[in-house]
């Protein structure tokens, strides 16, 4: 008897659907573990449409572990700029150095070794193991959790340890050992194209006959999720200092968002305040203690939404008077305007620079 006849109907339908409908992606059909790793890390918290260009750019600059390990973290962050969740890039760089040192530059081939790399969780390790090395590990991400929570009407929250464990055990039991790569990729694509978060294609779904949520007319009730954590609001007041063709930036080094990215002088306040209130703020006074006279333009306001934070930012364009030049604290870097593009910055800073009026003749649009 052939192995395929022993497959679950769910497994068989998924593989048949995948053969006919799989997405044409630049990392499909490859078995290089490094390239698979890059694609999986980029697609964490990132839509395929956005990740595609970043994958192409990243792998063109860093085609292998050696080139990534040899680069500076700052260059890696610059290539990553705009993609968000910058810890992914920092972790990849650290993992590349680890592979160079611990595995002599050869990408590890065992699941536990792959899992030991910084920034690699169970899903990513399973995806690399199955796709690159044909090892039978079920790769369970958000798409997979949603698909199987609906198929089996799982009452546990997919964000709870028990819910994830139950679904992982189900997926592992359905994984065909002869072709784990196709199965894992089939479920990923199926969740992205058919069993979508909103308005899933239930009418034409090839798994309709096996779906318990559909049979109960409760597809909209699955997956079960915990209440979302309320987003924290933060208020950033940035000062874009225009000083004879130069401006000032500093690198964020705290354990916070955008670590190791550059930004303008910042005063964070617990609530939104205007420039008059800012003038009495301790951080503002310390920043401009040696700059008694300057012009400050009305702010440009931008809102930037992260997964658990909402940043409300006011950007003030500041021009010190010639007789009272800005005396920057020692941790700031004085940078010519036309050199800003060489420093990795957050998407928030990038958006402001794109909006800066270049009629002042001191800064071109920043892409």
**pLDDT tens sequence across 132-144:** 999 999 999 999 9
| CB contact set of 217 (below 8 Å; sequence gap of 6+) | none
Known active-site residue 2: no
User: Pick the catalytic residue: 40, 201, 218, 341?
Assistant: 40
pLDDT digits (tens, 9 = 90+) for 218-247: 999 999 997 667 889 999 999 999 988 899
For the segment 104-124, the average pLDDT, to the nearest whole number, is: 97
pLDDT digits (tens, 9 = 90+) for 61-87: 999 999 999 999 999 999 999 999 999
Q: What is the CA radius of gyration of the chain?
A: 25
pLDDT above 80 (res 189) = yes
Closest CA to 352 of 239, 234, 231: 239
In order of 29, 302, 361, the CA distances from 364 in angstroms are 42, 19, 7
For the segment 248-268, the average pLDDT, to the nearest whole number, is: 95
pLDDT above 60 (res 5) = no
At the topology level, CATH places domain 232-360 in Nucleoside Triphosphate Pyrophosphohydrolase (3.90.79)
- What pTM was estimated for this model as a whole? 0.82
pLDDT digits (tens, 9 = 90+) for 16-68: 999 999 999 999 999 999 999 999 999 998 889 899 999 999 999 999 999 99
What pLDDT, on a 0 to 100 scale, did the predictor assign at position 330? 85
Over the range 200-225, which residues count as b (16 or more CB within 10 Å of their CB) and which as e? bebeebbbeeebebbeeeebeebbee
For the segment 107-114, the average pLDDT, to the nearest whole number, is: 98
**What CATH superfamily is the domain 3-221?**
Hypothetical protein; domain 2 (1.10.340.30)
The mean pLDDT value of the chain amounts to 92
For the segment 183-187, the average pLDDT, to the nearest whole number, is: 97
What pLDDT, on a 0 to 100 scale, did the predictor assign at position 3? 41
Domain parsing of the chain, residue ranges: 3-221, 232-360
Pairing mode, strands 309-320 and 300-305 = antiparallel
Distance CA 339, CA 144 (A): 44
What pLDDT, on a 0 to 100 scale, did the predictor assign at position 315? 97
pLDDT above 60 (res 360) = no
What pLDDT, on a 0 to 100 scale, did the predictor assign at position 164? 95
For the segment 134-160, the average pLDDT, to the nearest whole number, is: 96
What pLDDT, on a 0 to 100 scale, did the predictor assign at position 208? 96
What pLDDT, on a 0 to 100 scale, did the predictor assign at position 128? 98
Percentage of the chain exceeding pLDDT 70: 95
What pLDDT, on a 0 to 100 scale, did the predictor assign at position 228? 64
For the segment 201-224, the average pLDDT, to the nearest whole number, is: 96
What pLDDT, on a 0 to 100 scale, did the predictor assign at position 357? 52
């Amino acid at each position: 008897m052939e192995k395929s006849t022993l497959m679950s109907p769910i497994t068989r339908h998924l593989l048949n659907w995948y053969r006919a409908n799989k997405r044409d992606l630049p990392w499909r059909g490859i078995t290089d573990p490094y390239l698979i790793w890059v694609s999986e890390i980029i697609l964490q918290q990132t839509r395929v449409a956005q990740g595609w260009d970043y994958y192409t750019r990243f792998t063109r600059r860093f085609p292998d572990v050696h080139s990534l390990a040899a680069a500076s973290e700052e260059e890696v962050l610059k290539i990553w700029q705009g993609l968000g969740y910058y810890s992914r890039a920092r972790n990849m760089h650290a993992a590349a150095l680890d592979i160079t040192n611990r595995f002599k530059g050869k990408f590890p081939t065992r699941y536990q070794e792959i899992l030991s790399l910084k920034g690699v969780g169970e899903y990513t390790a399973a995806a690399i193991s199955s796709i690159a090395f044909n090892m039978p590990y079920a790769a369970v991400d958000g798409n997979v959790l949603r698909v199987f929570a609906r198929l089996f009407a799982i009452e546990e929250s997919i964000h709870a340890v028990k819910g994830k464990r139950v679904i992982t055990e189900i997926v592992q039991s359905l994984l065909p050992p002869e072709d784990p790569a196709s199965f894992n990729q089939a479920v990923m694509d199926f969740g992205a194209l058919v069993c979508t978060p909103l308005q899933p294609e239930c009418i034409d779904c090839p798994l309709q006959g096996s779906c318990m949520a559909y049979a109960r007319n409760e597809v909209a009730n699955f997956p079960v999720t915990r209440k979302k954590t309320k987003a924290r609001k933060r208020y950033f007041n940035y000062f874009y200092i225009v000083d004879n063709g130069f401006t000032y930036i500093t690198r964020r080094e705290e354990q916070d968002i955008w670590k190791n990215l550059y930004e303008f002088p910042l005063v964070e306040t617990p609530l939104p305040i205007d420039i008059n209130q800012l003038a009495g703020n301790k951080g503002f006074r310390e920043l401009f203690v040696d700059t008694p006279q300057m012009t400050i333009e009305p702010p440009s306001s931008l809102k930037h939404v992260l997964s658990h934070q909402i940043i409300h930012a006011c950007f003030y364009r500041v021009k010190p008077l010639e007789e009272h030049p800005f005396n920057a604290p020692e941790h700031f870097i004085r940078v010519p305007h036309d050199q800003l593009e060489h420093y990795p910055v957050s998407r928030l800073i990038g958006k402001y620079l794109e909006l800066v009026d270049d009629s002042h003749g001191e800064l071109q649009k920043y892409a």
